[in-house]
Amino acid sequence: MPLLDINDLHGYYDKSHVLHGVNLNVHAGEIVSLLGRNGVGRSTTVKAVMGLVRTEGSVKFRDQEITALKTYEIARLGLAYVPEHRDVFPSLTVEQNLILGEQRGRQSQWTIEDMYNLFPRLKERRHTPAGVMSGGEQQMLTLCRSLISDPELIMIDEPTEGLAPFIVEQVADYLEELRKRGVAVLLVEQKLAIALDIAQRVYVMGRGNIVFEGTPDALKQNEQIRKEWLEV
C-alpha cells in the first residue's frame, strides 16, 4: 500500500483549472522525482496534497483521505512541505528556527545535532539571524526545520534552484540520508541529473497531468518523452 496515494486529482486557482486528473503514489522510504517544465502543475500538485489549493479527487496518506483536512492537520499526520521560496523566520537565529520545527509531545528520530551533522555550515551559523544568511544557507535551514518535525513523507519543491554546485551536492546527500532512515521524499526538481541520480521512480508532468511514470533508466532511454516534455 502506498504511503501517499493520489487518484484523479484536479486542482484549481480560482477559475483556472491547473491539474487534470493526476495519478501518483509514493511508498515508504522511497524517493520519487516529479519532473516537467515550469508551469505544468508540479508545484500545484504538492500544494494540493497540503490543502493549499482547491481540489477534486482523492489524496490518501497512510490510507486516510486527507482532502477535507486543514493544512496544519495534514502536517500533524506526518507530511512535511518545503516550498520553493525559502520561508525562514528572519529575526530568529538558526537554532531558534530549528526549535520551532520541533513538534511538542512527539519524539523525533532527528535532533538539532543531526541537522548540524547534515549541514555543518548551519552549526557555524547557529546564533546568526536567518534573515542575513545567504540563499543557500536559508535553503539548508528550511530543509532541516521541516525534517526535525519527524515526517514520514517530505515534499520538496525545487530545493537546488539557484544554489552553488557544492551546496547542490549537500542537498543530494541530505536526500539520500532521508531515504536511508526511512523517510519518503517527493522531489519537484528541474535539474535532471540530481533528480534521476537519487530517485527510485520518476513521474513527468505535462499540461496538468502525468505523461510518464517509470524508473530513471526508463526515462533516460525514452528520447521521445524527454524531447517533448522536458528538454528546452
**What are the residues facing 93 on neighbouring strands?**
129
pLDDT of residue 85: 80
Distance CA 110, CA 3 (A): 20
Residue pair 126/93 in contact by the 8 Å Cβ criterion: yes
Cβ 200 vs Cβ 215: under 8 Å? yes
Give the model's pLDDT for residue 125.
96
44-85 per-position pLDDT tens digit: 999 999 999 999 999 999 999 999 999 999 999 999 999 888
What is the predicted pLDDT for the residue at 106?
64
Per-residue pLDDT of 84-124, as tens digits, reads 887 899 999 999 999 988 866 667 789 999 999 989 999 99
The arithmetic mean of pLDDT across residues 135-142, rounded, is: 92
pTM: 0.93
Buried (b) or exposed (e) across 143-169, using 16+ Cβ within 10 A?
bbbbbbbbbbbbbbbbbbeebeeebbe
Contact indicator for 140, 121 with CB cutoff of 8 Å: yes
**CA–CA distance from 95 to each of 113, 131, 144, 156, 228 (Å)?**
10, 13, 11, 21, 45
Which residue segments constitute the domains of the chain, with CATH numbers given?
Answer: 4-229 (3.40.50.300)
